[in-house]
Amino acid sequence: MYPYPSPYGPRRRPRRLTPWNEALDLIISWAALTLAFGAGALMRGDIKLLGAAALAVATAFVGHELAHRAVARHYGMVAAYKANYPFLAFTLALALVTAKYAGAPFVIAAPGAVVVMPLFGLPHPYVSMLIAAAGPLTNEVIGVAAVVASYALPPAIAPYLALVGRVNLWLGFFNLLPIPPMDGWQVMRYSLTAWASMIVLALALLIAL
């Protein structure tokens, strides 16, 4: 996700906006989401599937957040990922409980956000839309590539790569929901047409693949 405007204000550097803390937040968020998406595999002791979940989260979550950051930095802003630890704990607990009692984990994948701090004023709404759209579009590209590639791989490998693709497609769709502060809300605020096109495509890919 990408929050707009920055909760820290346009001119004050966030206390935790440092490379070390960003790396730590990314690693902890990646580990928590891996356990959430792989909760069923964890309970069954399926190490291979849990490893596939780790790869899926690495591409889907880390790729998504770094895409936000890259576009923001391209436009000259200070940007870094910051975890939301209470929500991470809720996400992991919900996934473990649903995996145990419903047979499959239900994951609300919103572990944090890229915090953007413009050097002067606030970003132009069009730039804000581009930053927001970068994450879900990255998920769609990775998701399609992984699912398509899985059809050409041996049966022993294909299901794991397909999982990587479907996690990416799910996160791409989920983040386009028009609910603040999701990416879909940021895109829809600037262009209803752009948002509608993106979420229809994301849903179609999720269903088709």
User: For residue 113, what is the DSSP state?
Assistant: E
User: What is the Cα–Cα distance from 142 to 40, expressed in whole angstroms?
Assistant: 23
Rounded CA separation 113/175 (Å): 11
At 66, the amino acid letter reads: L
Nearest to 132 by CA among 102, 164, 88, 176: 176
Q: Are 183 and 1 in contact (CB under 8 A)?
A: yes
Active-site residue (options: 38, 40, 53, 65): 65
- Phi, psi at 82, each rounded to 5°: -135, 125
The answer to whether residue 140 is catalytic is no
Beta bridge partners of 116: 79
Cβ atoms within 10 Å, residue 54: 18
Residue 181: half-sphere exposure toward Cβ, Cα within 13 Å? 15
Distance (Å) of CA 179 to CA 83, 186, 187: 19, 9, 11
Question: Cα separation of 53 and 24, whole Å?
Answer: 20
Positions annotated as catalytic residues are: 65
